[in-house]
Structure 1
Amino acid sequence: MGTSPNTSRNGPLIERRSIDFIPDNERHGSLWSQFTLWVSANLTVTCAVTGALTVVLGGDVFWSLVGLFIGQLIGGMVMALHGAQGPRTGLPQMITSRVQFGVYGAIIPLVLVCIMYVGFLTSSTVLTGQAVGQLLDVSTTSAILILGVLVALLALFGYRTIHALGRVYSVVGGLTFLYLFVSLLSGHEVSALLGNRHFTWPTFLFALSLSASWQISYGPYVADYSRYLPRSTSPTLTFVMVGAGSVLGSQLAMTFGVFAAAIAGDRFAGHEVTFMVGLGSVGLVATVLYLAITLGKLMSSALSIYGSVMSVATISTALTGKSAIGNGMRFVLIMSVVTLYTSLALVADHGFLKTFGHFILFLLAFFTPWSAINLVDYYCVEKDNIDVQALNDVNGRYGKWNIPGISTYILGVLIQIPFMSSEFYTGPLFDFFGGIDVSWIVGLLIPGALYYFCSRYRLPHQTQQAVQSNRV
């Protein structure tokens, strides 16, 4: 859990690395920062609203909480397995997809990941624009623009600054949500809310799927924030600290959302920020709550902006043959992403947010097969032996297109369609399973098994051992 000799105190203020390999002499940080980062990433209004959907769509408090917690554990384990790759690979998450899909083939899941980032950023900005507007006494439009500038700065400074903010907000956000809980539950019979139970499989598994998808959606960028840890860092401890932080933070926020939806009803839905700040009455306490909510927004948005830049950089370098991008290009990419999601947030409203739960469940159909393939390859096939130089060589070990990997991924997406139920589409086998959406389970298990079977036909490794500085 210690730091390497080159500690973070001696590094540049603005991160100079992008998607390139982090050498041992630049490794730094501790596992505690992984815990605080993922606690803080989940203590947000958006996470609370996601939890509230379980009650809004018909679930009771007790079984919604149980379903959410089980889903957190399942999805959190998947997410943490990706996070544990960071110290060993020294690479951001999505560039390792070139191992499974090929240098060009990895662009397929990368494009979908970028769409996910825009969706999360837009929805959370719509919510938090209320807080900044009230705090600064400006219009929501002005507030959204101010948020865009602040998030762009955080993403530009990069890894160290984001982790530092995570350490601060893990305390601020934790205290904020505890205060909100006490204020919300004051004068209400918690035992009565928990005692009013009407279990149904569809609502229970909706809660489970919602939280599992929330966790799995972190998979494409969780290793971005662990790749600077010393190579000697224990993978098991990394798994525990990343997973525990994410599960704890998200369950706390979603539990608040469940109780808020059950107690406040329409006073919460559509007015989330106003309702939450109203729990602090007026004056100084309300101002502190606005600040805390805004800080949480900056934290989660910085993660998504940073991750989106890693993804776009991975796409561009695949096409140009380069191994990394410079700070000038990083700035251009950051501003492009900020401009895109800010523009969408300015024209969106709470009608957009009503489909948010269905949106992330729909996205799950595209990320569960990727996650299964990536994890099976890393832990069962390659066993963390990644040829770093070959990641940028279309004529190298991984090639342009890995047809078995791409085919397995496409099949993994398609095989979920008959079992799927979303606002966008309902498959023919959904009713056969009693109105229960099991598509994400199918999307995890079958592609993983198929990829493991197909991996035996992968071309022989061109290099069995490589120089340590070029291979992980």
Structure 2
Amino acid sequence: MTATPDISADSAAVEYGGKVLAVEPGGNEPIPLEARHGTPRGLFWTWTAPNLEFATIFVGVISVAYFGLSFWQAVGAVVIGNLLGAVAHFLLSAEGPLHGVPQMVLGRLAFGHKGNILPATFMAVMCGVGWFATNSVSGAFALAGLLGITPLAGLIVIVVAQTAFAFFGHNLVQRFERLAAPILAIVFLIGAVIIFSKSDVSAGSADGGFSMGGFLLAVGASFGYTAGWTPYAADYTRYLPPTVSKMQTGLFASAGLFLSCTLLMVVGAASMTIGARTSDNPTDAFTANFPSAIADLTLLAIAVGAIAANAINVYSGAMAFVTMGFTLPVGAQRALVSVFFGVAGFLVAWWALADAAASYEAFLLLVAYWIGPWLGVVFADRVLRREPPSLELLYDRKYANWGGLAAFVIALVVSVLLFCNQERFVGFVVRAVPELGDIGAFVGFVIAFIAYLLLARSQVEKSLQQYG
């Protein structure tokens, strides 16, 4: 059995403490009690800032422009999707302060040490690289429109800035989010007032009726966006003292996430009722109805919002990579991995510049496909465990829970084959019943939850006895 990390003896982490302009040491070790700091209230800004960006707006845009919904239908869809994602974020954020470990380390409870490599890989690649690339594209377009440069030049500026924040780590990322959030909120609220003053929210859908398939696609896309943050949740609460209120921790984190996502998605849906797009540059098209000064300010806010989002994406993507078991012979292994993800994300974003809209729609649903089953396994594990997890179990390399991995894989494969709705592949059930839209994530959650209760119950009971 691997020895439990000594959470009181990590002198580097204690020295790091609350320093902002210092590189966060280590990888996925528990945060020592002496290094814990902060209050739950700060989480509101942590989860508000990264969603005050154009990628959030664009979920509302595609709900009307691509899924064929009216404004009010789109509002209903994004509220449902965001609420489901925020509830999951509430529950996972509240767990972070207990042991002071990242979210993917907590995932070892349900998947075992080796089995957890698969969901950690999904997170590292699809969130650390995929989300990084997606948000970088919107930031690049914004800088291109603002400064009159090429999108590629804008992409380089964006990538360098956000990778630098992630390299320094937790404290600088948190500080940047808190400083950026109020400023971004003011800019986007001004833009929202202008959008709603010119929009026609009473306009009907493109086909003049209600499309259940389009509605469920929008629910899935908004859920994919909001729930896409859930594998990061404990990463940003693990530095809080273990004595803080779990209710406040979850509430502030989920409230910042839900309010920011819902507001900007609704604004995006409203913007599509004004008129036809005037530019192939999506950020220019969004700001076309603004006075020039407000348009420039909004473009700048979009660029800053992309950096705010991706500072978190790169940081947690690197954290997931380290959790997979890879180690580097240096004290700042997470920082170096952040640079690697910055480079990888840049290359993917460069490729995606050619067709941002299509790439984004597909990516949102792809994220949701694995998040749904992952949440199903994680929450089923919480139902079976009657007491908080042992820190010793989380770092025991011999601990296995193959029932969790099996439940995840079964749910992922079945839900995608039967219920996904992508341009290149449509699930067999959806082919017969197009009105289902894309419910793959939700079916995956249910299958994974039930499968885990059936396949992993004995292993959970055994671990409770062994590590109790």
Does the TM-score normalized on the shorter chain lie above 0.5? yes
Q: Is the 8 A contact 1:40 1:170 kept in 2?
A: yes
Shift of 1:73: 0.8
Measured in 2, the distance between the counterparts of 1:409 and 1:10 equals 39
Measured in 2, the distance between the counterparts of 1:310 and 1:216 equals 18
Measured in 2, the distance between the counterparts of 1:460 and 1:236 equals 30
* Cα 1:465/1:328, change in 2 over 3 Å: closer
Shift of 1:279: 4.0
Sequence identity (%): 24
Measured in 2, the distance between the counterparts of 1:464 and 1:150 equals 46
Q: Is the 8 A contact 1:217 1:367 kept in 2?
A: yes
SS at 1:152's partner residue?
A: helix
* Cα 1:230/1:325, change in 2 over 3 Å: farther
Partner of 2:233: 222
* Cα 1:432/1:133, change in 2 over 3 Å: closer
Partner of 2:251: 240
Q: Is the 8 A contact 1:313 1:325 kept in 2?
A: no
Relative to structure 2, which stretch is displaced further, 347-356 or 61-70? 347-356
Shift of 1:446: 2.2
Partner of 1:79: 89
* Cα 1:7/1:306, change in 2 over 3 Å: closer
1:291-302 to structure 2, matched below 5 A, reads 291-302=300-311
Matched to 2:34, the amino acid is N
Partner of 2:324: 315
Q: Is the 8 A contact 2:16 2:24 kept in 1?
A: no
Shift of 1:306: 0.3
Q: Is the 8 A contact 1:60 1:196 kept in 2?
A: no
Structure 1: give runs of 5+ residues left out of the alignment.
467-472
Shift of 1:216: 1.6
Partner of 1:390: 393
RMSD: 2.7
Partner of 2:76: 66
Partner of 1:15: 24
Matched to 1:271, the amino acid is N
Shift of 1:164: 1.5
Shift of 1:136: 4.3
Measured in 1, the distance between the counterparts of 2:151 and 2:20 equals 37
Measured in 2, the distance between the counterparts of 1:102 and 1:403 equals 7
1:153-164 to structure 2, matched below 5 A, reads 153-164=164-175
* Cα 1:438/1:134, change in 2 over 3 Å: closer
* Number of matched pairs: 450
Q: Is the 8 A contact 2:163 2:342 kept in 1?
A: yes
Partner of 1:108: 118
Q: TM-score, normalised by structure 2?
A: 0.88
Shift of 1:116: 1.3
Matched to 2:123, the amino acid is V
Q: Does 1:210 find its partner at 2:210?
A: no
Q: Does 1:139 find its partner at 2:150?
A: yes
Q: Is the 8 A contact 2:411 2:444 kept in 1?
A: yes
Q: Is the 8 A contact 2:140 2:151 kept in 1?
A: yes
Q: Is the 8 A contact 2:191 2:298 kept in 1?
A: no
1:321-336 to structure 2, matched below 5 A, reads 326-336=330-340
* Cα 1:129/1:21, change in 2 over 3 Å: same
Partner of 1:469: none
Matched to 1:34, the amino acid is L
Shift of 1:137: 4.5
Relative to structure 2, which stretch is displaced further, 356-365 or 384-393? 384-393
Residues 11-54 of structure 1: per-residue CA shift (max 9 Å, x gap): 77332243110122211111121111111121110111122111
Partner of 2:4: none
Q: Is the 8 A contact 1:88 1:227 kept in 2?
A: yes
Residues 167-199 of structure 1: per-residue CA shift (max 9 Å, x gap): 222211211111112222334444456999622
1:43-442 to structure 2, matched below 5 A, reads 43-57=52-66, 58-117=68-127, 118-192=129-203, 198-267=209-278, 270-283=280-293, 285-317=294-326, 326-377=330-381, 379-383=382-386, 385-395=388-398, 398-399=399-400, 402-416=401-415, 417-436=417-436, 437-442=438-443
Matched to 1:54, the amino acid is S
* Cα 1:192/1:325, change in 2 over 3 Å: farther
Residues 367-394 of structure 1: per-residue CA shift (max 9 Å, x gap): 21111111221x3223453232333332
Matched to 1:330, the amino acid is R
